Amino acid sequence: MRYLPLAFDLKERPCLLVGGGGIATRKARLLHKAGARLLVLAPEISDELRQLVSDSGGEYFAARYRVDFLDGVDLVIAATADESVNAAVSADARARHLPVNAVDAPDLCTFTFPSVVERGPMAIGISSGGAAPVLARRIRAQLETLLSPGIGALAEMAARIRARVKAALPERERKDFWDWVFAGPVASQVEAGGIEAGEQTLLAQLAQWRGRPATRGEVYLVGGGPGDPDLLTFRALRLMQQADVVLYDRLVSPQVMELVRRDAERIYVGKKKEFHSVPQDDINQLLVDLAREGKKVLRLKGGDPFIFGRGGEEIDRIAAAGIPFQVVPGITAASGCASYAGIPLTHRDYSQSVRFITGHLKQGELKLPWRELAASGQTLVFYMGLTGLETICRQLIAHGLPADTPAALVEKGTTPEQRVVTGDLTSLPQRAVSEAVEAPALTIIGGVVSLHDKLAWYRTRH
Ligand code: SAH
């Protein structure tokens, strides 16, 4: 380690910036965030810098640099375009043992600015000691994706409550308590934006803390997207990385499962048509039981949990049992398949609305408002519609949709095996058979399907 990262308290401390251009402005932004009072010395300055100076309660001097400007300041930055001025500022500052940074001149610096990941009061500095600034920035970008934006709110809440925890618990129990706060339902609630809910969970637990938490278990109902792991949300990925046990089904792609924490127990609760390996009721109960054992339970679903995913029923049970939970949306099959197949779901020339419809047969029948569905100017997306495809196309034609309306099947959309089979309402059912299309497959019907040839960009088997 060539440079020691230190956390510098600059609140209301005067900091001198020599220079008024873009670089000076960037440094001023950082110093302002830390609460410093900005003293800026330059012949002219940008509007933003002028604003920062005034917001910080500082001062702007339209003057040339003189050594007496160093009087009484805590930190110095030389950011002029003139190297000789920067060198003079640096030499004077060092002579007074003032910390100084000169832009693009490591030899003139006694400190450097690390790349910073900021979450409220939490600040992470990454420094390569000048060896590889681009690498430091890449590491910063990686950390940005790993750390929830809500961590700042969590740290602020901890600061608000610290004194109460101190008063309520003996020292030997405090660390366990805070560990529970930062690794359990309080953290998930606050990070997901539920600051008040999180604080209530914390205070309730504090009142009855007996050396161990009474509630630790929680449930994450997470949308795993249609297959491509790149389509996961950051939050989905974070929760997948901290789960103790995961319940997943057939629609969750192996590539997405790869990203679940290695040590997490995996429970397959998949369903195949006509073959329910685990009845829904048992899944709901299992979620409750596992959370009551104190586990972080990840219920990972294909696509979005609230679109034909029975997510509502599962959460109903969990909420009734008083178990903390959160729901993370995912990219639903319609969005994923349509994008990857080059079929815009709406388009000014073809379609002004889009409908997501279940094509699931009940006792061999499909009871749907066919007349409405056959209206023109809309895109129809049928989920679970492979078995009923022939019925769907026949009914739509019978209710007035032209037989040559373009229609497509997207099989295993967004995965490397994606296949798109196109036709129209007359030909698609036959093509599904001759091409041996398998589940999961999505049916898209409407004028927008004609754009597929032009807009398809994703590698497909067809
Ligand atoms: N909650 C899921 C849908 C569950 S219903 C979501 O939001 O996507 C299951 C149906 O979704 C399947 O029968 C199929 O029609 C569709 N589906 C899911 N993933 C798919 C994929 N990768 N490619 C094509 N269709 C898919």
Is the per-residue pLDDT at 272 higher than 60? no
Question: Which residue is closest in CA terms to ligand 1's atom 9?
Answer: 384
Q: Strands 378-383 and 441-445: what pairing? A: antiparallel
Q: How far is the CA of 180 from the centre of ligand 1 (A)?
A: 37
The reply to whether 249 belongs to the active site is: yes
Query: Do 160 and 60 reside in the same domain of the chain?
Result: no
Query: Do 184 and 222 reside in the same domain of the chain?
Result: no
* End-to-end CA gap in the chain: 54
Is the per-residue pLDDT at 275 higher than 80? no
User: Ligand 1 atom closest to Cα of 413?
Assistant: 23
Amino acid present at 303? G
**Count of domains for the chain:** 4
Tell me the pLDDT tens digit for each residue of 135-171.
999 999 999 988 999 999 999 999 999 999 999 999 9
Query: Do 321 and 364 reside in the same domain of the chain?
Result: no
pLDDT, residue 138, reads 93
pLDDT, residue 301, reads 96
Test site for ligand 1: of 250, 327, 337, 383, most ligand atoms within 8 A of the Cβ: 383
Residue carrying structure tokens 């359990």: 184
Is the per-residue pLDDT at 395 higher than 60? yes
Question: Which residue is closest in CA terms to ligand 1's atom 5?
Answer: 308
Is residue 445 assigned to a domain? Answer: yes
User: Ligand 1 atom closest to Cα of 358?
Assistant: 5
Is the per-residue pLDDT at 212 higher than 90? no
Among 66, 98, 114, where does a domain finish?
Answer: 114
Q: How far is the CA of 189 from the centre of ligand 1 (A)?
A: 29
Tell me the pLDDT tens digit for each residue of 325-337.
999 999 999 999 9
Is residue 250 assigned to a domain? Answer: yes
Q: How far is the CA of 257 from the centre of ligand 1 (A)?
A: 16
Query: Do 422 and 442 reside in the same domain of the chain?
Result: yes
Q: How far is the CA of 140 from the centre of ligand 1 (A)?
A: 35
Q: How far is the CA of 153 from the centre of ligand 1 (A)?
A: 36
CATH number, position 70: 3.40.50.720
Query: Do 65 and 93 reside in the same domain of the chain?
Result: yes
User: Who's near 378: CB < 8 A, 6+ residues apart?
Assistant: 351, 352, 353, 354, 355, 446
Q: How far is the CA of 227 from the centre of ligand 1 (A)?
A: 9
- If you average pLDDT over every residue of the chain, what do you get? 93
User: Ligand 1 atom closest to Cα of 360?
Assistant: 13
Test site for ligand 1: of 221, 251, 361, most ligand atoms within 8 A of the Cβ: 251
Tell me the pLDDT tens digit for each residue of 289-316.
999 999 999 999 999 999 998 888 899 9
Residue 273: pLDDT band (50, 70, 90) is low
User: Ligand 1 atom closest to Cα of 383?
Assistant: 15
pLDDT, residue 277, reads 67
Query: Do 49 and 108 reside in the same domain of the chain?
Result: yes
Query: Do 298 and 256 reside in the same domain of the chain?
Result: yes
Question: Which residue is closest in CA terms to ligand 1's atom 6?
Answer: 303
The reply to whether 263 belongs to the active site is: no
Test site for ligand 1: of 308, 382, 386, 417, most ligand atoms within 8 A of the Cβ: 308
Exactly one of 74, 176, 271, 289 is catalytic; which is it?
A: 271
Q: How far is the CA of 333 from the centre of ligand 1 (A)?
A: 5
Exactly one of 249, 296, 301, 304 is catalytic; which is it?
A: 249
Strand partners, 442: 410
Strands across the sheet containing 100-102: 59-61, 37-41, 14-18, 75-78, 100-102
User: Ligand 1 atom closest to Cα of 305?
Assistant: 1
Kind and range of the H or E run holding 152: helix 151-168
Question: Which residue is closest in CA terms to ligand 1's atom 13?
Answer: 384
Query: Do 181 and 232 reside in the same domain of the chain?
Result: no
Among 166, 188, 207, where does a domain finish?
Answer: 207
User: Ligand 1 atom closest to Cα of 443?
Assistant: 15
CATH number, position 419: 3.30.950.10
Is residue 304 assigned to a domain? Answer: yes
Is residue 122 assigned to a domain? Answer: no
User: Ligand 1 atom closest to Cα of 306?
Assistant: 1
CATH number, position 308: 3.40.1010.10
Among 285, 301, 331, where does a domain finish?
Answer: 331
pLDDT, residue 270, reads 81
**Percentage with pLDDT > 90 across the chain:** 82
Question: Which residue is closest in CA terms to ligand 1's atom 24?
Answer: 441
Q: Would you say the C-alpha torsion 52, 56, 62, 66 has a positive or negative sign?
A: negative
Question: Which residue is closest in CA terms to ligand 1's atom 2?
Answer: 303
Tell me the pLDDT tens digit for each residue of 335-378.
999 999 999 999 999 999 999 999 998 888 899 999 999 999 99
Residue 7, Cα to own-chain centre: how many angstroms?
A: 28
What are the helix and strand counts (H, E) for the chain? Answer: 17, 19
Question: Which residue is closest in CA terms to ligand 1's atom 11?
Answer: 383
d(CA 129, CA 294): 44
Q: How far is the CA of 335 from the centre of ligand 1 (A)?
A: 10
pLDDT, residue 2, reads 85
Q: How far is the CA of 264 from the centre of ligand 1 (A)?
A: 25
Lowest mean pLDDT, pick from 9-18, 151-160, 275-284: 275-284
Burial of 181 (0-12, 13-18, 19+ CB in 10 A): buried
pLDDT, residue 200, reads 93
What's the whole-model pTM score?
A: 0.80
pLDDT, residue 71, reads 97
Is the per-residue pLDDT at 202 higher than 80? yes
Per the structure, the complete domain to which residue 452 belongs is given by 342-461
pLDDT, residue 42, reads 95
Is the per-residue pLDDT at 19 higher than 90? yes
Closest Cα to residue 159, out of 121, 215, 104?
121
pLDDT, residue 365, reads 86
Is residue 130 assigned to a domain? Answer: no
Is residue 127 assigned to a domain? Answer: no
Query: Do 37 and 78 reside in the same domain of the chain?
Result: yes
Is residue 312 assigned to a domain? Answer: yes
pLDDT, residue 166, reads 95
Is residue 9 assigned to a domain? Answer: no
pLDDT, residue 271, reads 61
Q: CB under 6 Å to ligand 1: residues? A: 226-227, 251, 301-304, 307-309, 332-333, 337, 383-384, 410, 412-414, 439-442
Query: Do 188 and 252 reside in the same domain of the chain?
Result: no
Tell me the pLDDT tens digit for each residue of 89-125.
999 999 999 999 999 899 999 999 999 999 999 999 9
Tell me the pLDDT tens digit for each residue of 34-63.
999 999 999 999 999 999 999 999 999 999
Q: What angle do the packed helices 195-207 and 151-168 form, to 10 degrees?
A: 20
Is the per-residue pLDDT at 214 higher than 80? no
Query: Do 230 and 283 reside in the same domain of the chain?
Result: yes
Spatial contact of 241 and 265, defined as CB atoms under 8 Å apart: no
The count of C-alpha atoms lying within 13 angstroms of the C-alpha of 78, restricted to the half-sphere facing its C-beta, is 33
User: Who's near 182: CB < 8 A, 6+ residues apart?
Assistant: 154, 158
Query: Do 240 and 160 reside in the same domain of the chain?
Result: no
